[in-house]
Structure 1
Amino acid sequence: MRTFNFLTICGLILITLTGLMNHLEAQSIRTDDQDIQPLDLKEGSRITFVGNSLFEQAQPYGIQEFMLLSAWPDKRLTFRNLGWSGDTAEGSARSYISTPPQPYDLLIQQILATAPDVVVIAYGGMEAYEGLNGLKKFEDNLIRLIDTIHSMEAQPVLVTPIPQIPIEKINVNVKERNDNLALYTQKIKEIAHKKDLLVADLFNNFQQIGQTAYTENGIHLNESGYYQAGKMLLSSLGHKDPVWNIDVNSKTNEINASGDLKITDPGINRKGLEFTVHDKHLPHPGHIKTQSGRTLVIQGLHKGVYTLLVDQQNIVSATAKAWANGVQITQGPAFDKARQIREKLIQINDLYFQAYRPLNRTYLVGMRLHEQEQNAYELEVNNLFINRLEDQIALLLNQDPNHYQLKRIK
């Protein structure tokens, strides 16, 4: 356990109490005391994620990328993930065996190479181990990084660390750890306020829902955790998780739909119905257990069992009573397309990781490149595959309308 002098302990107590008061006053994932316009993305924007293990361990899920694509389906967004476990805002984990470049210079080179329009920055988790003594250094390093990204004419977005969840058999003072994380979270939000930046406060939001079900080991997020973090990030950018609800009354022949849904070609009676759904957003892939799904309510049907078909694909069967209460739609053509896109996003993350962090980087781009420099071209080959996958994603995002039919089967 770390030892603290008297002034350090007093400082921690004061700042922790201040953070608690702010938390109770307004629990928001955006900076509470400012009015920032939602993120405005142009078509073809490149979003780069940079930070520590929070982003590196997100790569095998592809969730944050998918949720951003679903929020802006007409922008043809592309993504690069530069997460590096153990990293800090000065790039301390990105050290090659040889220098130059220095770690921070390498971090900037890697960001520049992605040609970003938006850089989502998630630091503070590692620096928080230094407690109050390391706070000023972290502030200086983060501001330097923000200013450098601004000089690239890219827009920084800040993300706070996540809290540590107490679990059994870990010899860690979790309260002390979270006190320090709260300290650094508050500093990140203060910097966001001064710089007029969007900020996603994962720390306080995960404190609210703080269940171990969202982490693998109390420290790193699992699939459900990254889904929750994705919703928090979307909200901080001015968007909410898209809601999909359709309410049909077969007695009055009325259809009400939520959000951006548009319904055409309705044909409704008390023994069945059909209509066409135009939706610019894709659902979150069905194997994410925490997904909100899509709810279809059909009131006024005669007693019996009815099956729903979407583009002639059997989706779900339920009684008239169940349809009147609302049935969750968790599969179908749109979900199939969403899974395909997410799989391609995961492939892109893997390919880019291999390109910018090859296992034999010392030989390809480091001090021994004179031995294997002729093979460095293979790193660029990955970009060809990435470009092809991005083109395929763009085609999948061009959604065709889906034809819904409800037929009585019993």
Structure 2
Amino acid sequence: MKFIIPILAVFGCLIGNGAASADPPIRPGDHVAIVGNTFADQLRIHGYLETLLLQKTSDTPISIRNLGWGGDMLTARDRPTNFPTEETTLRDHQTDVIVACFGMGESFAGERGIEKFKADLEAWIESHRGKKYNEKTEVRLVLVSPIACEDLGHLTPDLDGRNRDLQSYTRAMREVAESADIAFIDLFEPSRYLMDEQQGPNLTTNGIHLNQYGYWAISRTFFNQLFPEHDETPPWQMRMDANAKTGTAIGVELADIVSDETGLQFRVTETTPPHLPPPVDNPLPPQLEFLRDTLAVENLPPGTYALSVDGEHVATASADQWTKGVAIDASPAHAEAESVRAAVNDKNLQFTYSWKALNQVHIVGERRSSPSGRALPGEVIQFSELAKERDANLAKRIRLATRQWRLSRVTQ
């Protein structure tokens, strides 16, 4: 039975023309710092990109500190009085790689601001070039473009003008990155491609700020561009024939296929982690539907069949639907992947409490000499230790298992 995966062209559209270096800009064991605007800041509360990176590097896990700040631009990065310098935080984290997300705020200056933006980018690169924040090797840099502006009707006036400017600023970032020989991630073109698709939920809340679904979708293309010529991890694709008791698969291995009048059972050994389930129940656009783990079973007798994994219900569909393929997002493996993402978000919260605490006035401001101000620095240190502790345990939560799957006919 031939197994066809019609996703390579789709991946090409979603990947775009990103990082082009021979080696991926992020490597196993790296300490990564993310800096930049609201897009960067909100990566920490959704956790999709970091979870994907942890899944890929679980044997030698990466460690991420998100230093994003809502509204940041290259030359406008306001901080409270006496706030720790960015360089101090980069050295504390022993940073190997800085991922910089800029261009959205700057793009509002329009065409007249592009040359200044390029000069500011070049200055930012020079400010880090040659620095050894990890005390061993020169820091590597990754530039990340803004996303496109989504058409949300009256919420997004001058949509075409905004996207012309965002495209120009993305092009400027690419030129600077190529000139400096550093990695570049283009999120503008893939996001515009998805936004132009009629089917599927909106990606943003106001045209330029991604919602949770938007971060789920864009994190995948971000991840793929970080590893453009390396082992992309396609979704699980399982196709079986109930009559022949045979099957082919990508991402997992199938064994011990047994069928009878009540259904089909088989053993699945996970060789790659599952894809993170989308955070919506709405139908997805075709480009993203192909990114979901899928099971297809041919030649089932007519009827309705329920899928269980290790005794836990996962999905129910008709024989015709199983023939076409059913997205598998709720298996125990997917629940475990979601628990990793939740742990990532918790780690990021502990770091945020230690680095960007809400009550800065008591820590570095005018009330730092008050009783509560004197107590808070110790608490901040405890939050930092909690972040490190959680960081060390994240990869241990990622596991590949062998599980028993069963497709049972549902009696009426």
TM-score (norm 1): 0.81
Which residue of structure 1 lines up, in the alignment, with residue 67 of structure 2? 82
Once the two structures are TM-superposed, the CA of residue 345 in structure 1 deviates from its matched residue by 1.5
> Structure 1 residue 165 and structure 2 residue 150: aligned?
yes
Shift in alpha-carbon separation, 1:220–1:241, aligned structure 2, 3 A: farther
Most deviating of 359-368 and 244-253 = 359-368
Point out the more displaced range, 42-51 or 163-172. 163-172
Decide whether aligned partners of structure 1 residues 302 and 30 sit closer, same or farther in structure 2, where only a CA change above 3 A counts: closer
* 1:208-243 deviations in Å (ceiling 9; x for gaps): 222581110112111121122212211211255631
Cα 1:40–1:281 shift into 2, 3 Å:
farther
Deviations 1:296-336 (A, max 9, x none): 11122334443322112122233333322222222121121
Secondary structure of the 2:44 match is coil
1:399 paired residue number: 400
Q: Structure 2: where are the runs of 5+ without partners?
A: 1-11, 133-137
CA contact (8 A) 2:100 2:144 kept: yes
Cα gap change, 1:284/1:146 in structure 2, threshold over 3 Å: closer, same or farther?
A: same
Q: 1:79 to 1:320 in 2, by over 3 A?
A: same
- Pair 1:94–1:373, CA change in 2 (3 A): farther
2:183 corresponds to 1:198:
yes
Tell me what 1:261 maps to: 252
Matched with 2:85 is: 106
What letter corresponds to residue 239 of structure 2 in structure 1?
D
Separation (CA, whole Å) in 1 of partners of 2:14 and 2:336:
33
* More deviation, 138-147/229-238: 138-147
Q: 1:96 aligns with which of 80, 91, 96?
A: 80
- Aligned mates of 2:27, 2:155 — CA distance in 1: 46
- Indicate conservation of the 8 Å contact 1:262/1:278, yes or no: yes
1:337 is matched with 336
CA distance in 2, matches of 1:408, 1:155: 55
Is 1:30–1:201's contact at 8 Å kept on the other side of the alignment?
A: yes
Instruction: Describe the SS at the equivalent of 1:58.
Output: helix
1:8-407 equivalences under 5 Å are 29-31=15-17, 35-39=20-24, 41-90=26-75, 92-97=76-81, 106-150=85-129, 151-152=131-132, 153-170=138-155, 173-210=158-195, 213-238=202-227, 240=232, 242-258=234-250, 260-268=251-259, 271-289=263-281, 290=284, 292-366=291-365, 369-371=368-370, 372-407=373-408
Partner Cα distance (1:58, 1:35) in 2: 23
**Counterpart of 1:176 in 2: which secondary structure?**
helix
CA 265–148 in structure 1, closer or farther in 2 if over 3 Å, else same:
farther
Offset of 1:126 from its aligned partner? Answer: 1.6
Distance, in Å, in 1 between the alignment partners of 2:94 and 2:309 is: 40
For residue 409 of structure 1, report the CA deviation from its aligned partner.
4.2
Structure 1 position 47, deviation (Å):
2.4
Query: In structure 2, what residue type is equivalent to 1:263?
Result: L
Q: Kindly indicate whether the alpha-carbon contact (under 8 Å) linking 2:29 and 2:57 is maintained by their aligned counterparts in 1.
A: no
> Matched residue of 1:59: which SS?
helix
CA apart distance, 1:28:
7.5
CA distance in 1, matches of 2:157, 2:208: 11
Q: Deviations over 1:124-173 (max 9, x none)?
A: 11222223443333223322333444423232111101222344445854
Q: What amino acid is the match of 1:94?
A: D
Q: Deviations over 1:240-282 (max 9, x none)?
A: 5631110111333321001x32234444556423223223313
SS at match of 1:217: coil
The answer as to whether partners of 1:163 and 1:203 remain within 8 angstroms in 2 is yes
Question: Is residue 38–residue 237 contact of structure 1 (8 Å, CA) maintained in 2?
Answer: no
Q: Judging changes above 3 Å, is the alpha-carbon distance between structure 1 residues 309 and 351 closer, same or farther for their aligned structure 2 residues?
A: same
Which sits farther off after the overlay, 129-138 or 326-335? 129-138
RMSD over aligned Cα atoms: 2.9
Deviates more, 1:357-366 or 1:105-114: 105-114
Please report how far the alpha carbon of residue 370 of structure 1 lies from its aligned counterpart in structure 2 after TM superposition: 4.2
CA contact (8 A) 1:94 1:107 kept: no
Distance of aligned partners of 1:321 and 1:126 in 2 relative to their CA distance in 1, 3 Å threshold: closer
**Structure 1 CA distance for aligned equivalents of residues 15 and 207 of structure 2:** 21
Q: Is the contact made by 1:243 and 1:294 (CA closer than 8 Å) also made in structure 2?
A: yes
CA distance in structure 2 between the partners assigned to 1:326 and 1:164 by the alignment: 33
CA contact (8 A) 2:54 2:395 kept: no
CA distance in 1, matches of 2:87, 2:124: 8
* Deviation larger for 346-355 or 181-190: 346-355
Identity %: 24
SS in 1 for 2:80: coil
SS of structure 2 residue aligned to 1:255: strand
Return the TM-score normalized by structure 2.
Answer: 0.81
**Aligned partner of residue 120 in structure 1, secondary structure:** strand
Q: Is the 8 A contact 1:263 1:278 kept in 2?
A: no
Report the residue type matching 1:192 in the other structure: A
